[in-house]
């Protein structure tokens, strides 16, 4: 009978266990302790899976337990399904026993003499272990309390959430019709081609032409891909257009990737592009490591701004749009709103030219109706003009009515932090959903950022967007307003030690993922020892290893983050601004 009083020793690892007294199986199982109402209120509807292992073996469904030799020490382990993210475990040492288990609620009769290797239960459920001690049967009732697992380390969570498609380097094979080369970047230069991305898509029928501005003149060519039909690719649904970025002058090969990584993490720049590392074989020729990126265009899986509203007379009352600040010399022959031609491509505000990405004259709802398209572009120009005037006059009431302040802050923050050459001068996108406010973004084009241009002050110190006269003056004007400055300052101090630091710390992880492909790239393009490669500054030219180039970017970002933190934390003066 003394076996009746054997105590089970439970080692608690993230479980709270309550043991109750045992009774003989000839007696009815009476509950001496009622579950308190507050326990019922704590019940969690989330269901977890649990398995039980006895002496290294799971209990099989339908079997009453495990017969053990009297000398054996049994380890009873409860293992939660890994998919739940919770793995609490406790162990009980039992001698000379047979174990069954089941689930019951307060007031229920004991579970039957059968078991299953998998048991579903909720938080605060009652869990029953039936123990045979010779010819005596005992019940031990345990209340399960699920304790959440410790939080994932911040850097690990950051990388899990935002390092899209960085688990490997993909392989892309391009075959052009007749194996011809791509000779230009206008629509007239499109060449019918077939693309296979290994383990992703095969025999993708596309047209390919060149793309880019200064980068098109470099030996390693960037490309614009236009699918003959829409498809689903890299988490983008029903799309056809992509950009293959060569990163020829970016000897780290990762400036674009890490910038978009940071942009995705901020949460305010909704349409930050996916960037996928891929090695490219062009007509069988190895051409190195590229970034496959979202083409900047409107659409549900890209920049989702399409749509418009009209009044009873058919006049536009609101229209979604996506526009890009660019120069006329990059877009020769473009048609202005001020012309009499129907296919309007840009308009001008304060001598700066905004090129229309949506709505273009042949987009749905506007095609075949030049007058309606002109009316839409005129409405957009008026909206941008009103926003521009509010910014330049520091009328923050109108600014906040027309513009999304958070996206303005984060867009300029990224461009200032990276000291992007173009910054707020070229490749500047803004967008507005129907019924929404003017938002900055998506961010784009950072191969010459992070101290990679010899024709600007490329050091990590010193303001750039705020100081450069050629740039869109919006950021400079907004920063003269105390409220906007304080919001920008607060935001920067918030993410300096989180998002920015995690981006810096992710560089080494990215380095190891792309290392083999990067080394093959520089075997193909032997430019690490070149005397000069436009527009690399001298410190970049003096680094002759790929690892050294990556370290340069990492050190630049670390030093610039520290410099900007100091400037904003201590509210240091900004020349000509405050």
As given in the structure block, the two tokens for residue 516 are 């083999």
Instruction: List, in order, residues 6 or more apart from 278 with CB less than 8 Å away.
Output: 169, 170, 171, 172, 197, 244, 289, 290, 291, 292
The average pLDDT across 259-263 equals 97
- CA–CA distance, 128 with 149 (Å, rounded to integer): 24
Residue 508: inside a domain? no
Instruction: Give residue 149's pLDDT.
Output: 54
Cα 114 from chain centroid? 48
Are 313 and 447 within one domain?
yes
Same domain, 250 and 213: yes
Strand order in the sheet with 346-349: 346-349, 352-358, 321-326, 428-432, 439-440
Choosing from 264, 294, 324, the residue where a domain stops is 294
Residue 522 inside a domain? The answer is: no
Please report the beta strands in 14-60, taking only residues with DSSP state E, as ranges in sequence order.
Answer: 44-54, 57-58
Percent of the chain having pLDDT more than 90?
64
Q: Is 178 exposed, middle or buried (0-12, 13-18, 19+ CB in 10 A)?
A: exposed
Q: Are residues 253 and 196 in the same domain?
A: yes
> Is the pLDDT reported for residue 20 higher than 50?
no
| Domain-terminating residue out of 419, 452, 485 | 452
How many C-alpha atoms does 519 have within 13 Å on its Cβ side?
6
169 in helix, strand or coil?
Answer: coil
Question: 31 with 107: CB under 8 angstroms?
Answer: yes
- Polymer length of the chain: 578
pLDDT digits (tens, 9 = 90+) for 507-518: 999 999 999 999
98: three-class secondary structure by DSSP:
strand
pLDDT at residue 84, as a whole number? 41
* Cβ 110 vs Cβ 22: under 8 Å: no
Domain assignment present for residue 498? The answer is no
- Domain end point (choices 90, 116, 143): 143
Residues 315 and 269 occupy one common structural domain: no
Q: Is residue 410 pLDDT above 80, yes or no?
A: yes
Show the beta-strand stretches assigned E in 350-454: 352-358, 428-432, 439-440
| pTM (predicted TM-score) | 0.77
Report whether 458 contacts 537 (CB < 8 A): yes
Overall average pLDDT of the 72-79 stretch: 37
Total domain count, the chain: 3
Closest CA to 243 of 234, 251, 252, 515: 234
Please give the C-alpha separations between residue 66 and each of 3, 58, 102, 114, 326, in angstroms, as whole numbers.
18, 9, 15, 11, 76
Report how far residue 555's alpha carbon sits from residue 572's, in angstroms, rounded to the nearest whole number: 23
| Angstrom distance (rounded) from CA 548 to CA 495 | 27
Looking at residue 468, what is its pLDDT? 67
Instruction: Label the pairing between strands 170-176 and 275-282.
Output: parallel
In this structure, the answer to whether residues 245 and 164 fall within a common structural domain is yes
Q: Which residue range is the domain that position 115 belongs to?
A: 2-143
Q: Are residues 256 and 332 in the same domain?
A: no
Same domain, residue pair 110 and 165 = no
87 within a domain of the structure (yes/no): yes
Query: pLDDT digits over 321-358, tens only?
Result: 999 999 999 899 999 999 989 899 999 999 999 999 99
Q: Is residue 258 part of a domain?
A: yes
504, pLDDT greater than 90: yes
């Amino acid at each position: 009978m003394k076996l009746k009083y054997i105590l089970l020793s439970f080692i608690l690892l993230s479980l709270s266990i309550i043991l109750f007294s045992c009774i003989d199986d000839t007696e009815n199982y009476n509950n001496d302790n009622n579950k308190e109402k507050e326990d019922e209120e704590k019940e969690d509807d989330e269901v977890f899976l649990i398995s039980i292992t006895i002496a290294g073996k799971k209990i099989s469904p339908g079997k009453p337990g495990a017969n053990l030799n009297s000398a054996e020490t049994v380890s009873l382990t409860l293992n939660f399904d890994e998919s739940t993210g919770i793995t609490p475990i406790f162990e009980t040492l039992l001698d000379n026993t047979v174990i069954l288990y089941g689930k019951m609620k307060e007031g229920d009769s004991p579970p039957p003499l059968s078991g299953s290797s998998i048991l579903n239960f909720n938080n605060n459920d009652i869990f029953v272990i039936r123990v045979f001690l010779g010819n005596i049967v005992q019940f031990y009732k345990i209340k399960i309390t699920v304790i959440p697992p410790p939080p994932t380390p911040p850097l690990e969570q950051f990388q899990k959430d935002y390092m899209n498609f960085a688990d490997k380097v993909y392989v892309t094979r391009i075959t052009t019709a007749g194996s011809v080369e791509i000779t230009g970047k206008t629509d007239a230069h499109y060449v019918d081609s077939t693309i296979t991305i290994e383990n992703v898509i095969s025999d993708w029928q596309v047209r390919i032409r060149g793309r880019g501005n200064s980068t098109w003149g470099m030996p390693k060519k960037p490309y614009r891909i236009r699918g003959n039909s829409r498809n689903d690719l890299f988490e983008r649904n029903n799309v056809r257009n992509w950009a293959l970025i060569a990163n020829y002058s970016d000897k780290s090969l990762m400036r674009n990737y890490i910038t978009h990584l940071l942009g995705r993490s901020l949460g305010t720049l909704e349409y930050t592009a996916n960037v996928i590392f891929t090695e490219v074989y062009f007509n069988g020729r190895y051409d190195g490591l590229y970034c496959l990126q979202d083409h900047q265009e409107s659409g549900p899986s890209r920049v989702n701004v399409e749509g418009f509203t009209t009044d009873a007379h058919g006049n536009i009352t609101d229209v979604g749009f996506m526009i890009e600040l660019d120069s006329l010399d990059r877009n020769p022959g473009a048609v202005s709103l001020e012309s009499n031609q129907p296919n309007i491509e840009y308009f001008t505000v304060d001598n700066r030219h905004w090129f229309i990405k949506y709505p273009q004259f042949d987009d749905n709802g506007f095609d075949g109706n030049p007058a309606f398209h002109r009316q839409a572009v005129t409405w957009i120009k008026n909206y941008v003009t009103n926003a521009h005037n509010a910014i330049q006059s520091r009328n923050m009431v109108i600014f906040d009515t027309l513009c999304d302040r958070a996206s303005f802050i984060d867009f300029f923050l990224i461009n200032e932090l990276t000291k992007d050459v173009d910054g707020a001068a070229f490749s500047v996108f803004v967008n507005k959903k129907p019924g929404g406010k003017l938002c900055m973004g998506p961010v784009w084009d950072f191969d010459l950022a992070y101290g990679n241009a010899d024709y600007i002050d490329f050091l990590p110190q010193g303001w750039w967007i705020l100081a450069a006269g050629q740039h869109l003056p919006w950021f400079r004007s907004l920063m003269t307003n105390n409220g906007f400055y304080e919001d920008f300052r607060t935001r920067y101090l918030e993410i300096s030690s989180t998002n920015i630091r995690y981006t810096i710390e992710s560089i080494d992880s990215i380095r190891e993922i792309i290392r083999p492909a990067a080394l093959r790239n520089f075997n193909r393009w032997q430019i690490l020892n070149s005397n000069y490669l436009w527009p690399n500054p001298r410190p970049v030219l003096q680094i002759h290893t790929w690892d050294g180039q990556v370290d340069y970017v990492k050190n630049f970002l670390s030093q610039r983050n520290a410099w900007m933190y100091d400037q904003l934390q201590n509210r240091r003066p900004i020349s000509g601004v405050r």
